Amino acid sequence: MNIILYIIIFIMGSFFGSFLTLATYRIPLNEDITHKHSFCPKCNHKLNFLDLIPILSYIFLKGKCRYCKTKISPRYFIIEILCGISFVLLALTLEVNIYTININTIYNFILGALYIVFLFLIAGIDKEQHYIDKRVLVYGIVVDFINIIYEYIYNESFNINRIIIYFIIMMIVLIINTYEIKKKGNDSYAINIILLCLVMSLFTYEIVTIFSIIMTLVIIIFYEIITSILKKKQKDNSHLPIAFYLCIANCITILLTNLILI
């Protein structure tokens, strides 16, 4: 029975992954992500249900649009699989078991899944568009708020002072960011990275964020070394997708931390 449960969780994760590929494409364009029908970005043909089945549609259509035969980027396929795997790993680390499942486990899984969605959105938009979307950061803050409310109600050792300090820091950073926008006319990537780290710390605690930052630095160093050795030319050397690497590192750190604590 647990195998069936985890298959369902993987399918659910892959559907979220499919939605995330749509969201990372439309959010930077300020397009609707909930009501507007999915379509091929090349021929603009509306996609039907058979075109939108995560993973399977890509395989059966051989990575091409059913209507114009344009090749579909493999990132759609990869993100759907990775999101499905992430949901399964989250369930495993939280010891989700059909025989012993309870409200607390369900809550932790749902909130963890929502947080993983946040990480995927930030990472996807930064990788493709080279910026951190404030609306996605707000979504992350909402997830933090839900977690804070739950912890406040059910956790006797909940520290409200920690939360107050974080939100004071966050407000100061936002004020500085507003000043930077007015002064320079554009958003500050560095300040948004700080906001991202604050959102991460509120949800996962400081130690996880610190390990995530360390892992990010290691990933970037190895990437730069390998790139230098292979002498691979970058299309755009002006932007290093730090948020992309940071979100990957944070996701891995959370899963490993949960696994160690089992």
Predicted confidence at residue 231, as pLDDT, reads: 66
- The C-alpha angle 71, 15, 262, rounded to 5 degrees, equals 125
Whole-angstrom CA distances from 1 to 14, 48, 84, 92, 101 are: 20, 32, 19, 14, 13
pLDDT at 261 (0 to 100): 63
Contacts of 110 (CB under 8 A, 6+ apart): none
pLDDT of amino acid 170: 92
Q: Rounded distance, CA 218 to CA 55, Å? A: 31
pLDDT tens-digit profile of 197-213? 999 999 988 999 999 99
Give the integer Cα–Cα distance in Å for 247 and 108: 19
Predicted local confidence at residue 185, as pLDDT: 76
What's the pLDDT score for residue 260? 74
Given a cut of 70, the residues of the chain with pLDDT beneath it are 231-238, 261-262
Q: What pLDDT score does 229 carry?
A: 81
Give the tens place of pLDDT for each residue, 55-67.
Answer: 988 888 888 888 8
Round to whole Å and give the CA distance between 166 and 162.
6
* pLDDT at residue 15, rounded to an integer: 93
d(CA 136, CA 196) in angstroms, rounded, equals 10
Q: Please give the Cα distance from 64 to 73 (Å, whole number).
A: 9
Please give the helix or strand (H or E) that residue 135 lies within, else none. helix 134-154
Question: Rounded to whole angstroms, how far apart are CA atoms 97 and 236?
Answer: 46
Query: pTM to 2 decimals?
Result: 0.88
* Residue 255 β-bridge partners: none
Number of residues written out for the chain: 262
